[in-house]
Structure 1
């Protein structure tokens, strides 16, 4: 029952920022209201467990890589520890920040809020009542700030602005004076960067980049004695500076606000004039020549002195500065590039396209992709686990079928032959092929070895398929239709249409073969569930009548029960052999979710969405998952017919249907304020407005809303191992698992069962006693330690004396060890002896032990595949060595 959020599949990037965690190879990107962490060296992706209240737009990581500051589009920020993946502090800004950046020393955070630039002290590891402390505020901007760049000594901040200027701000107290303005651009400045000397690290110049594709190079003129003295500033600035807290390490001002100059002999630096008082000269102007495309993203690497830029037409350019030499100019997409950054070493370039959900990592020296991931950019309709639980297939409204590796979170193949929305996917029992059904009237079979469509099943006249299944042998394929209300049966070997099952009077949305025989169950909107004997005879074997439309169905893994959901919010459980209704579960109140923006009634009084559209049994058939057009997924105990737990799929307020009560202040005569488009609003270019476009409401040319996505679950599936389940939701495919969470289950605990007793038994070489004590404590690391302490010659004796109630825990430990430890033969010896001695008990209690056995089978299958590949690759090498030995 301790299922927790594990990962999010579907799109590696949804808009906003993408940043590297310090000098590591971990890339952080915004995915809806969550943050995805991609380890490029380990080729794995994991979504951080915490979530914001709405879509994340800005990310900033401390230079050490320990802390993350994520800010959503409502101005709410989370300060998290990346190592522990835990939120430390929360703060809300007055409006959504347009730029956030840590200083190089990690002590300060620059935040652009509206037309103000604020300097905050970083909380770091300090424990305080209010850890965020505002140190300085810089007013005077005529428009919003777009980006920041800190000087290497964290004393100055270069801010680019939409008012066609870039400003050099003195951050440290005591520098005084007004900010220096870099002017001359004819469009909004989207990036401004300090240029430094590679040997000394001192600032030597600056680059400013505007939206129209112009880059200005500025030189810092050193050794000038005619630099103006620091001005006292305006009365407003003086008042702000007088009330500011002095930063650590700052020197007090002297001589009426001007800093004392040091001679060259007293200082290592040849010039101590503050940057905003020094002379800056415009050296040259260069242009990227990509008109009419706009420049949407840029970044600068100081050590390499390179600039990377991205444009609205999907083109990016890499330029060597200050000579402005074009190294690469390539097109990677047809849509706008919303982020472009360098890695810390400068060897990788990261590009993000929010509209396509695309994230690319490109090594510019070798001109090769390190990472190329693109998620579904429309709703995911269906999901399916492979029989070994290692792969997950998804089908979506973007006409694509994707196959993901569950352990890494990466999509490794995309099939795009379908010409309409994919409505169902199904893995064959051999684990090597995949079926998909689509509204384009085709059923396609995909080869997961050669990555091709090797067979296509069609009908004489076009039909829209919405359900799909195959029998256990993989010889027969069945698909249900939306328009003709028929079920089509094909032969997998020949591809011929074998039969057409007629009898339903509505769309066939549920279709599934019995796990133990060749009986096909189908559910339809005609208020019936029908059983068909596909091989023996035509026509329905039995029909189960309901009082409302049947939306979906599911077979229990042992084939002795059928569950189906109806439009009145009930789940009916039928005995397929006797044809009797066993019991029902009323889930109307359980599935009831939030209120939609367009609802005229409260969430408690409306009947819309209070039913289940997808069902799935657990691996042992004890529980059933149910989801629908709601923010909740319900888990029920089948035997007791009680609700065990509700999983809330999202807390993202950018989606509709999350709030239980709407704010009456946001309701106008034209409807909800959040759904009204403001044509005059200046939408941030770098943020994809993904909350638009799923619902086509409103008339062309009107100010009516275009709708927002509704929080809902279209499909839920349990993994065959029973250790995890997946849910296709509006946010993507959510994975919940129990593998990464510790469950303390005190079994037979008494005063003598302690960690010290286990250590004492190990020291006295009492291997059996130590293992039993560790099993009673149920601590994972302790159990594995005791397993490895057993001598291989004593494995059989200890297995025979192990109590039967601990078998499941031992099998789970074996499957986990096979995934991580190198002692393959030792763990296989344990598994073999355990199955030999307790084979009868395992067979009699296979239903309860099925999840653990499936996990063990998954681990052994993966290792077998790895060894088979290694042996096959070494076979010819051994033959060559043997033949060369006989020749000599």
Structure 2
């Protein structure tokens, strides 16, 4: 079974601090070619390496003719790199003058001549320099071929005319040549035209982007302010604040009318239309670690809770959050959907368990205890009448009535935090796991207390029932997964997962990744049929095991983000200094250390027994795993956000969906060659309404079932919308209804599972069919009476 994944709340990749610039091209020096049947990519090879940078490269931009590159670096310089000729003949041109690292480097195009005779460099201190390409003689055509300076002997000549600083780099050989031939034309050079400052003295410039056609620059600052400026006159069009946190990403769309802003500290994504000054799109994820995740009974909703005290509900098909509950005052540790599909429970360290109404979006019930407690686990019976929560500090389990909110019972007996709770699927028995090395079974309704105890050699971290209720799985601190028979009370078998979950060496580890200790599973989840089990913990891997054979089937790597600790198997010894790892040494001049975010991250109460707090980077780990009731997807709450893995390819965004061969002409060619299936797919990719309808009518009635079975899931909504439109305007009713019938036969399971996403299109189709049915019924009724009249009139004659 192959799973693909999408990231709902992923953090940006911030790994690496390379000081070399590598350029890769394919062997044909052209775009990769794609076909409908299979995707073929030309292999890339290293074209050229520019190793002259003395610090990390932060930004680069291509010239319009793709012969030059502008590259900015943390060494306070911007360099012009040429791809013409040999590397030894083309030394980089240095743009000097900035006092802070370069954030952005951009080419500008003269709209009149169409040449790249201007460039911009933006630094972290809020300065933007405008550079012009100029000739020393008037009869020279402007050519983007800079003078390559000799790094050992550079002469700076200042010309105070027009208050412009002209920087000329001339080697001794060039000077001798100019004396020998004064009439020889000199090569073009660059001059600093002017300096401008954004005047945000209390903040650092953290993000910028440039739109070449509009000649505009957008910049974002560490205080949440962004500005839009018209260049080269440096006219401020907008200067607004969108948050109090640092803007980490700012970008134009291709048309230049939308601005995109990202804030990593808030997990926020914002699309702003600057002409109308309105929001186009706004999404905000959790900005601290996500602790828990839960699927709704119909597998269409996903609830998450995090250390930022918030509960969010997401639509699985789109990945968008549609409601956020923020009534909790401390970290949310557990979430659980009730069987009615429109109620959600959440437990928190603030000492409350809250019930949420997903229809009215309100907190309709709050469960509390006589004295404050910290809840870390949550469960509800299948009827939804009883709610149970386990505590971190008093080692008790509290039982409430869902209808009245009254505390019914307090289950005592554990000697450690109760981190696992789950009701049996077949009876009213509650299973709990604790750090006191035991798993206990409780009879909640009869009031008999603990009826069974399973003892282990190490602390038990979580417990879960198999869907049929005939098996119980729990994980322990030594990296083992134990399987118990809850009816007979015997240990069935054990899976040793320490080696499977190992991998990734932390910067503070003294042992290799394979021999490192302290790796264990903190979350378990059975598949829908109970044949597989997912296990995740303080590692970058999520393991899938075959329960019957006790063997590892597959490992999923949840992150490749090098800004997290425990991702690399081998550490570079050059990064280790006498003071410790070089990446952990703070830079007082930097807002955010390379790869390390200095914001205060959330922390769940206390660390697990036997573990040591990590004082460096955040650790890559999976905190919670849940499989959808349909068994088609599963979700993981990780340090990278919530990852959704699915066997349905419809959830996957395919950037190669449009290529050079997808054109209206190709659709016409496919129709002419009697390739109706290919023509329909091409028209759906283009999303041209007229072409889609033309391809629909080109399919013969006998081929409808074959063609409909080849339509990908992601195009069903567009096809259904086309059918709804055709039913209102075309006379071929039986033909369109046959299409609808075949689509429902072939893709009925997908339509049922994604009814929320397809609901608008399905309602439009239903409305069109209902209207046609009513019209036909009226016509038939009218014809019936007319025929009766004609028949009676003929009889009289």
Say yes or no: TM over 0.5. Answer: yes
- The alpha-carbon distance between structure 1 residues 831 and 204, as it changes in their structure 2 partners (threshold 3 A), is closer
- The alpha-carbon distance between structure 1 residues 475 and 815, as it changes in their structure 2 partners (threshold 3 A), is farther
- The alpha-carbon distance between structure 1 residues 854 and 343, as it changes in their structure 2 partners (threshold 3 A), is closer
C-alpha contact (below 8 Å) 1:575/1:581 kept by paired residues: yes
Per-residue CA shift, 1:686-738, capped at 9, x if unaligned?
Answer: 966349976999xxxxxx99312223222111111112222222333233322
C-alpha contact (below 8 Å) 1:565/1:572 kept by paired residues: yes
2:556 aligns to what? 647
Residues of 2 paired with 1:687 and 1:873: CA distance?
Answer: 58
User: Secondary structure of 1:548's partner?
Assistant: coil
- Compute the displacement of 1:227 (Å): 7.5
Q: Is the aligned partner of 1:677 residue 2:585? A: yes
- Compute the displacement of 1:323 (Å): 4.0
1:355 aligns to what? 265
- Compute the displacement of 1:818 (Å): 7.7
Residues of 2 paired with 1:344 and 1:817: CA distance?
Answer: 24
Match of 1:212 among 117, 125, 129: 125
User: Secondary structure of 2:240's partner?
Assistant: strand
- The alpha-carbon distance between structure 1 residues 476 and 830, as it changes in their structure 2 partners (threshold 3 A), is farther
1:619 aligns to what? 528
Residues of 1 paired with 2:575 and 2:192: CA distance?
Answer: 50
2:340 aligns to what? 430
1:390 aligns to what? 300
- The alpha-carbon distance between structure 1 residues 644 and 314, as it changes in their structure 2 partners (threshold 3 A), is same
1:804 aligns to what? none
Per-residue CA shift, 1:217-249, capped at 9, x if unaligned?
Answer: 5566689528899998667899xxxxxxxxxxx
Q: Is the aligned partner of 1:153 residue 2:65? A: yes
**Structure 1 stretch 581-590 or stretch 214-223: which is displaced more?**
214-223
1:636 aligns to what? 545
C-alpha contact (below 8 Å) 1:166/1:181 kept by paired residues: yes
- Compute the displacement of 1:536 (Å): 3.2
1:225 aligns to what? 138
- Compute the displacement of 1:598 (Å): 3.1
- Compute the displacement of 1:468 (Å): 0.6
1:366 aligns to what? 276
**Structure 1 stretch 712-721 or stretch 520-529: which is displaced more?**
520-529
User: Secondary structure of 1:132's partner?
Assistant: strand
C-alpha contact (below 8 Å) 1:814/1:827 kept by paired residues: no
Residues of 2 paired with 1:450 and 1:695: CA distance?
Answer: 30
Residues of 1 paired with 2:765 and 2:650: CA distance?
Answer: 33
Residues of 1 paired with 2:714 and 2:100: CA distance?
Answer: 58
Correspondence 1:214-253 to 2 at 5 A: 214-217=127-130, 225=138
Match of 1:575 among 481, 485, 488: 485
- Compute the displacement of 1:479 (Å): 0.8
User: Secondary structure of 2:500's partner?
Assistant: helix
1:729 aligns to what? 638
1:131 aligns to what? 45
Residues of 1 paired with 2:85 and 2:455: CA distance?
Answer: 79
Q: Is the aligned partner of 1:858 residue 2:753? A: yes
C-alpha contact (below 8 Å) 1:354/1:688 kept by paired residues: no
- The alpha-carbon distance between structure 1 residues 458 and 236, as it changes in their structure 2 partners (threshold 3 A), is closer
Correspondence 1:677-826 to 2 at 5 A: 677=585, 679=587, 689-690=596-597, 706-740=615-649, 822=720
Correspondence 1:278-293 to 2 at 5 A: 280=191, 282=193, 285-293=195-203
Residues of 1 paired with 2:120 and 2:305: CA distance?
Answer: 45
Match of 1:522 among 432, 439, 442: 432
Taking structure 1 as the reference length, what is the TM-score of the superposition? 0.64
- The alpha-carbon distance between structure 1 residues 163 and 601, as it changes in their structure 2 partners (threshold 3 A), is closer
- The alpha-carbon distance between structure 1 residues 178 and 542, as it changes in their structure 2 partners (threshold 3 A), is closer
- The alpha-carbon distance between structure 1 residues 410 and 687, as it changes in their structure 2 partners (threshold 3 A), is farther
- Show structure 2 runs of 5+ residues with no match: 34-40, 154-175, 179-184, 607-612, 652-698, 724-735, 775-797
CA RMSD in angstroms, aligned pairs only: 4.9
Q: Is the aligned partner of 1:319 residue 2:229? A: yes
- Compute the displacement of 1:437 (Å): 0.9
User: Secondary structure of 1:289's partner?
Assistant: coil
Per-residue CA shift, 1:234-267, capped at 9, x if unaligned?
Answer: 67899xxxxxxxxxxxxxxxxx999xxxxxxxxx
C-alpha contact (below 8 Å) 2:374/2:393 kept by paired residues: yes
Taking structure 2 as the reference length, what is the TM-score of the superposition? 0.70
1:18 aligns to what? none
Residues of 2 paired with 1:131 and 1:372: CA distance?
Answer: 40
- Show structure 1 runs of 5+ residues with no match: 15-30, 33-54, 57-72, 76-94, 109-119, 239-255, 259-272, 698-703, 743-785, 793-809, 835-851, 880-888
Per-residue CA shift, 1:391-436, capped at 9, x if unaligned?
Answer: 2222222222222222223333333322221111111222222211
Per-residue CA shift, 1:442-464, capped at 9, x if unaligned?
Answer: 11222333333333222221110
Match of 1:460 among 352, 358, 370: 370
